[in-house]
Amino acid sequence: MLGLFEEIVSIDYSIKLPEKKDYGIGVIGCGGIMNGAHLPAYQQAGFRVVACCDVVEEAARSTAERFSIPQFFTDYRRLLDLPEVEIADIAIHQEGRVEIVNACAQAGKHILLQKPFAHRWEDAVEMVESCERAGVKLMINQQARYAPGHRFAKLLVEKGFLGTVYHCTHHIRGNQDSGWPAQTPNFLIIDHGIHYLDLMRYWTGKEPSGVYATTVYMPGQRAIAPLVYSINLEFDRHLMANLWFNDVVQGRDWTYQFIIDGTDGWLSGTATEVTVALKEGPASALHLKLKGSWFPDAFAGTMGELMRAIQENDEPMVSGRDNLKTLAVALAAVQSSESGERVVPKSYSSS
């Protein structure tokens, strides 16, 4: 029989690609994340991108050239006219999202939509409902779930090595006080922090029942939104999570760590490394450097999951409907940071 650490070392956290992976992908928005992560990951995974589109012609043209994409457009409707486009992969900011998602749904295209799903609850609900009415799959690109450290943590929890999880923490320090992040309302919680709020739901498999958040602005920062938060998530009597983010650190310092504490042990990690210690295990902790990356490798995970769901006619892991719950937590954190009160996340039930 394997010892506990041998069993842990043998956990298969690799990204599973679907059996059928030649769906035609049409990408909308050829900016930083599309060029820097989606398309490199798709190339690596052997996915088939058949067209791309950006309102800026040069962005569409250069992306098509760089990734050998056969057709490029400046109007997304031309891309939707192509029968070979089966999946629309959308990586634009908030403006125009609802219109484009509705048009994709009406054109019968399945959709992978970049996080954050929406800044407004009503927009997210409208997109979920229009996709469900049209019978197309909608998946939100919360690819952090497929970063090796995050996925390993999920599997370790799921397999019961940590016992019952009662506390999770997430701590990150960086600096995004420039560019579009600095111009975006509620950037820190809604645009970036949503990754970590979603991970708390993913790891625990539970929904927070209450959210407390506080934020501050660094004196002299450029961003219109606060760039420091502290968020507490209450789940139930036996589980809470604390998240801290300073995104206006002065001097070079990107640091990242999460910890999951359970009744039988703990795991601490980054996106690519984990340390595990068990109550009944060996005296010293186990350190593992994991294979793969968050950027770009994890992007094959979200697209692969959408393809799997299409093939099996199943709900994708981060469906629009599921992601309403993550968005509700993020919106509750914004509301709490403004009101100073504990906020209960909204819930959605379809009519």
Ligand X SMILES: NC(=O)c1ccc[n+]([C@@H]2O[C@H](COP(=O)([O-])OP(=O)(O)OC[C@H]3O[C@@H](n4cnc5c(N)ncnc54)[C@H](O)[C@@H]3O)[C@@H](O)[C@H]2O)c1
Closer to ligand X by CB, 88 or 165: give it: 88
31 binds ligand X (CB under 6 A): yes
Strand stretches in the chain, DSSP E? 24-28, 48-53, 71-73, 87-90, 110-114, 138-141, 165-173, 210-216, 228-236, 239-246, 255-262, 265-269, 273-278, 286-289
CA distance 34 to 51: 13
CA distance 96 to 78: 16
- Per-residue interface string for the shown chain with ligand X, residues 66-95, x marking contact by CB under 6 A: ----------x--------------xxx--
Residue number of the CB closest to ligand X reads 31
Question: What burial class does residue 143 get, using C-beta atoms within 10 Å of its C-beta: 0-12 exposed, 13-18 middle, 19+ buried?
Answer: buried
Phi (first) and psi of residue 237, to 5 degrees: -55, -25
CA distance 169 to 258: 5
- Find the shortest distance in angstroms from Cβ 39 to ligand X: 11
The neighbouring-strand residues paired with 288 are 274
- Find the shortest distance in angstroms from Cβ 346 to ligand X: 21
194 binds ligand X (CB under 6 A): no
DSSP 144: G
- Find the shortest distance in angstroms from Cβ 242 to ligand X: 22
Closer to ligand X by CB, 115 or 137: give it: 115
- Find the shortest distance in angstroms from Cβ 139 to ligand X: 12
- Find the shortest distance in angstroms from Cβ 87 to ligand X: 16
Among 18, 25, 51, 54, binds ligand X (CB under 6 A): 54
Phi (first) and psi of residue 209, to 5 degrees: -100, -15
Q: Which stretch binds ligand X (CB under 6 A): 49-57, 197-205, 244-252, 319-327?
A: 49-57
The binding site for ligand X (CB under 6 A) comprises 28-34, 53-56, 59, 76, 91-93, 96, 114-115, 141, 143, 180, 191
